[in-house]
Each structure stands twice: as structure tokens, then as C-alpha cells.
Amino acid sequence: MTAMTEAQTEQLVTRCDENGVATLTLNRPKKFNALSMAVLEALLEELTRVGEDKSVRCVVLAGEGKAFCAGHDLKEMREETTRIAMQALFGKCSEVMMKITSIPQPVIARIHGIATAAGCQLVATCDLAIAVEEARFATSGINVGLFCSTPMVALTRNMPTKQAFEMLVTGDFIDAQTALQYGLINKVVPADQLDKAVAEMANKIASKPAISIAFGKQLFYKQLEAAKEAAYDMAADTMTCNMLTEDAQAGVDAFIAKQPMPEWKGR
């Protein structure tokens, strides 16, 4: 089934908006939300729309069914193994990951079940992540002869290098508490508290001034790749631009006057 025909027969990514929070849900439950080319295209399209929507202040990425995401669709990958096809698939996946970090809103991964290979990459790429106690994580490509090279990029920017390398070369699963210890996720909660925990974090973010969050998120990833002096230069420039916004000036004035924070204007 080609990307076009699959996309025509299923809504592969659904969107639900509430109180400034957009929830994008991978909707391929029978395949454990495996990232086919069609799913990647649909997710990229939704992320692009969300990023341009000024009414959205936070994004939640979830998975329908028993799993968050089982990584790439291996069956689809075996149907066409030309270099061009493989480059297109992994290039599209990388484009999705870069879009998650480039949109102005923070993205929270809502994790249940398994997050394997490119699914684990999704978790590592999202700005924040909350998982149920039963969740499990792996970069398991090596078990079928495929080193998880693209997931490695995200993992090594989240986790200690030796722990990331161990996951990559063994393909072993880690549980949610270990993922929390490694820095892959932010919080572990019982399954019946997952939605509450995600909503609390999303709503807290949505209550902050969106323009300041956008400034901060953009700088956060840029400065990570920079030398310290350059990072401080970028940070000083960002704080200058941020301080000159109407929201920041109104917020500082309210703080000085010991008044409630104003209603934020947006971005």
C-alpha cells in the first residue's frame, strides 16, 4: 500500500484542541502506530499546521491503542529497498523530528505501552515526556540487523552517552523508571493518572506567555549546539528581544506593582 492510498483510507493522525492545547494522536493502532511514510507525512502536515496556529500554546503527542509507537514499519521498508526509497523514508522521519523542535510550542509525549526504535526517537525528540509505569523503551533495530542511527541522534542529546550506547548495541528494553533515571522522560505516573498528569503540564505551559515560550524554545536548542561564549551572545540577544515585548513589559510591571499577571497577548 502506497503512502497515498493508506492516507486516503485512514486518518493516520488525529487532532483535538482544548484550552490552547492541541493533542495529535498517531492513529494506526493495529500496527502499534508504526511510522509508515504515510504516517510521517500526516504527522508532518499536522505539526506544520499546529506550529502556525497562534491559538495553540502547547502540543501533546499520543498514540492510539496498546502502544505509543513501535518505530518504522519494517514490512513497508522491505517492499521497496532501493537507496532512493530508504533515503526518502529516513529523510522524512528526520524532517518530522526537526519540525517537533522547530515549532514554537512545547511538545509533550504522552507514553503508554512501548516506544521502540523511531518511536523511542519520538520520545527523545519531544520537549517533554510523561509515561505510565508499565511503559517500555528500546532502540531495538539492532535485533534485526539495523543499527538505530537516526534514533541515536535524539538519544545522545537526552541521555548519558554510555547508557544510550548500551541501548543502541543491545536492543534491550528499559522500563519507565530507568528511562526517568536516564533523562529520557520527565515523569512516571500510574496508568489511571496519565491523562491528568499530561493535562496539568500542558495547561501550565499554556498559561504562560506564548511569545516568551517561543523565544525560549528556539534558543534552547540553538544554544545546545554552540560554544559557551556564542551561547551567551544568543541568550543575551533573545532576552533583549523578549524584554521588549508587550507581554514581558506588562508582566514585569504587574510584578513590581504586586498585581495579578495580565492576560497574555500571544505571539
Closest C-alpha to 100, from 156, 58, 160: 58
226 touches 42 (CB < 8 A): no
Instruction: Verify that 51 and 104 share a domain, yes or no.
Output: yes
- CATH number where 86 lies: 3.90.226.10
Cα–Cα distance measured from residue 16 to residue 64, given in angstroms and rounded to the nearest whole number: 13
Cα–Cα distance measured from residue 94 to residue 200, given in angstroms and rounded to the nearest whole number: 29
- CATH number where 246 lies: 1.10.12.10
Question: Looking at the 3D structure of the chain, how many domains does it have?
Answer: 2
The upper half-sphere exposure of residue 163, i.e. CA atoms within 13 Å in the direction of its Cβ, equals 15
Q: Determine, yes or no, domain membership for 252.
A: yes
Q: Determine, yes or no, domain membership for 235.
A: yes
At CA 253, angle to CA 248 and CA 255, rounded to 5?
A: 95
pLDDT computed for residue 5 by the predictor: 52
Q: Tens of pLDDT along the chain (267 residues)? A: 344 455 445 799 999 999 999 999 999 999 999 999 999 999 999 999 999 999 999 999 999 999 999 999 999 999 988 999 999 999 999 999 999 999 999 999 999 999 999 999 999 999 999 999 999 999 999 999 999 999 999 999 999 999 999 999 999 999 999 999 999 999 999 999 999 999 999 999 999 999 999 999 999 999 999 999 999 999 999 999 999 999 999 999 999 999 999 999 866
Instruction: Verify that 166 and 244 share a domain, yes or no.
Output: no
Cα–Cα distance measured from residue 34 to residue 46, given in angstroms and rounded to the nearest whole number: 17
Instruction: Verify that 22 and 7 share a domain, yes or no.
Output: yes
At CA 212, angle to CA 210 and CA 215, rounded to 5?
A: 110
Domain residue limits at 222: 210-256
Q: Determine, yes or no, domain membership for 265.
A: no
pLDDT computed for residue 7 by the predictor: 47
Instruction: Verify that 120 and 53 share a domain, yes or no.
Output: yes
State the angle between helix axes of 37-52 and 83-102 in degrees (0 to 180), rounded to the nearest 10. Answer: 30
The upper half-sphere exposure of residue 118, i.e. CA atoms within 13 Å in the direction of its Cβ, equals 23
Instruction: Verify that 165 and 112 share a domain, yes or no.
Output: yes
